[in-house]
Amino acid sequence: MGLLGGTGREGQALALRFAHAGVPVIMGSRSSDRAREIASSLCRRLGHDLISGLENREMIRNSDLIFLTVPFPEAAGAIEVYADSFQEGSILVDTTVPVAFEKGQPKYNELPEGSASEFLAGRLPAKIALAGAFKTIPTHLLGDLTVPLACDVFVYSDFDQARERVMAFAGLIPDLRPINAGGLSAARTVERMTVLAIGINRRYKIKTARFRVIGL
Amino acid sequence: MGLLGGTGREGQALALRFAHAGVPVIMGSRSSDRAREIASSLCRRLGHDLISGLENREMIRNSDLIFLTVPFPEAAGAIEVYADSFQEGSILVDTTVPVAFEKGQPKYNELPEGSASEFLAGRLPAKIALAGAFKTIPTHLLGDLTVPLACDVFVYSDFDQARERVMAFAGLIPDLRPINAGGLSAARTVERMTVLAIGINRRYKIKTARFRVIGL
């Protein structure tokens, strides 16, 4: 799997979790030097060499399952720059959340398309299957391998095969249960759940709020 | 506590849970006969007499914490008819979810106001504090006292005291944890979570999906 803009916080956290679960990860960055440097430093922490680094475009050419891990404000730009490089049938997993802060309170950034994932889907070539996942899991927890995640990851896509593949892939992480959240419009719910969790964190003075479905 | 339109499925389920927890419940209905009849039948099931029945307007005059338990399409009409009867400072707890089904798939009924609770708030006199709760708990589970709920109830309101009172009240139900979900606009998230849960129920062939916050 590859990480588009993977040297940021979300990318590093996903790289650690997946590599820790034994999955080879290619970290992409605008700078191949930076990608390799961060990949090496994460590998040293893990004590193996499952994380490698490449310039974003090279990472895309070598991956058919790619996680978009830039912050939301940079997501559309990244798609515009790199979309041509994607292989036919590639899966892009959106992990962004459009959240803003107003007077210290988290606020969902309402988009005319209904959600970040739907906004991004409209900017992607038809050859790429967009899915969404990992939106509701706090980044710092994802990157802290001493903490079992013990929660669910909501996975959605209008492409059934893409959704199933991302679910199977997410299920490689121990103690994380993938949930089939349905089609792309589920993003309207799942992204807002992240903002709800941030609000809960602030009100309860914690940093760990995340979700689990009961009764399943 | 009172139930506005309490003889329907949601009202009966809430009446059973709260009365089972030792809380006196006044079931409201357009017909006082029907309210008394259903209240008696629920009391027989519980083996005590904590549930009584009154015509809606009488129930409102005798309650300062009222749950709105009609289906969403009837909610605005019920508020229009009964709003004048509310006491100054009454709390109305919206439990409705605007969900429709398209080709068998649950779909959130998007409202210009952003959510059912915000839609209803705009139709209420200023003397009534609107809160939202119990939206994400399946009605049939709520009414099945053999099943521990073992989940969270998300409570929101723009009125802090109303939210705190509803949280304390919901906390009387064993094995149900009230979560402070913030202001009224949280309805946009919480109501959609219900639709997500209905979709999960359908995809996984269950009827019990509900939510718990992990890390709190």
ipTM of the modeled complex:
0.96
The confidence score (pLDDT) of residue A47 equals 95
Written as six digits, the tokens of B74 are: 């009837």
> Residue B103: is its pLDDT beyond 90?
no
Contacting residues of B for A208, CB less than 8 Å apart: 214-216
Contacting residues of A for B179, CB less than 8 Å apart: 200
Mean pLDDT of B169-184: 97
Contacting residues of B for A215, CB less than 8 Å apart: 138, 141, 151, 206, 208-210
**Do the Cβ atoms of A7 and A51 come closer than 8 Å?**
no
Distance between CA atoms of residues A130 and A132, nearest Å: 7
Helix (H, G, I), strand (E, B) or coil at B65: strand
Strands A210-214 and B210-214: antiparallel
Contact flag A151-B214 (C-beta cutoff 8 Å)? yes
Mean pLDDT of B13-26: 97
Closest residue to B204, CB basis, from A189, A196, A216: A216
Could you tell me which residue, A102 or B187, shows the higher pLDDT? B187
On whether the pTM is more than 0.80, the answer is yes
Contact flag A197-B213 (C-beta cutoff 8 Å)? yes
Direct distance between the N- and C-terminal alpha carbons of chain A, in angstroms, rounded to an integer? 28
Strands B129-132 and B151-157: antiparallel
Running along chain A, 216 residues long, what does each successive block of 10 average in pLDDT?
96 98 97 98 96 98 96 96 92 96 90 97 94 97 96 98 98 97 98 98 97 97
Contact flag A209-B188 (C-beta cutoff 8 Å)? no
Q: Which of A185, A192, A204 to mutate to test the interface with B (most CBs of B within 10 A)?
A: A192
Range from B42-46, B66-70, B102-106 carrying the lowest mean pLDDT: B102-106
CA of B150 vs chain A CAs: smallest distance (Å): 8
Residues 6+ apart with CB under 8 A from B177: B151, B152, B153, B171, B212
Mean pLDDT of B66-72: 97
The confidence score (pLDDT) of residue A126 equals 87
Distance between CA atoms of residues B186 and B188, nearest Å: 5
The confidence score (pLDDT) of residue B174 equals 94
Closest residue to B196, CB basis, from A141, A181, A208: A181
As beta bridge partners, residue B148 has none
Contact flag B192-A195 (C-beta cutoff 8 Å)? no
Closest chain B residue by Cα to residue A105: B182
- Residues B146-162 have pLDDT tens digits of 999 999 999 999 999 99
Helix (H, G, I), strand (E, B) or coil at A16: helix
The confidence score (pLDDT) of residue A155 equals 98
The confidence score (pLDDT) of residue A105 equals 87
**Do the Cβ atoms of B29 and B55 come closer than 8 Å?**
yes
Query: Percent of chain B, pLDDT > 90?
Result: 95
Closest chain A residue by Cα to residue B152: A214
Residue A84 carries which DSSP code?
A: G
**Do the Cβ atoms of A94 and A75 come closer than 8 Å?**
yes
The confidence score (pLDDT) of residue B126 equals 87
Tell me the CA distances in angstroms from A73 to A98, A109, A129, one per residue in order.
8, 11, 21
Contact flag A189-B195 (C-beta cutoff 8 Å)? yes
Contacting residues of A for B204, CB less than 8 Å apart: 180, 216
Contact flag B196-A186 (C-beta cutoff 8 Å)? yes
Closest chain A residue by Cα to residue B214: A210
The confidence score (pLDDT) of residue B170 equals 98
The confidence score (pLDDT) of residue B104 equals 82
DSSP A95-146: ----EEEETTEEEE---TTSSHHHHHHTTS-TTSEEEE-STTS-HHHHT-TT
Count Cβ–Cβ pairs < 8 Å, chain A vs chain B.
99
Residue owning tokens 């080879």: A24
Helix (H, G, I), strand (E, B) or coil at A206: coil
Contact flag B204-A180 (C-beta cutoff 8 Å)? yes
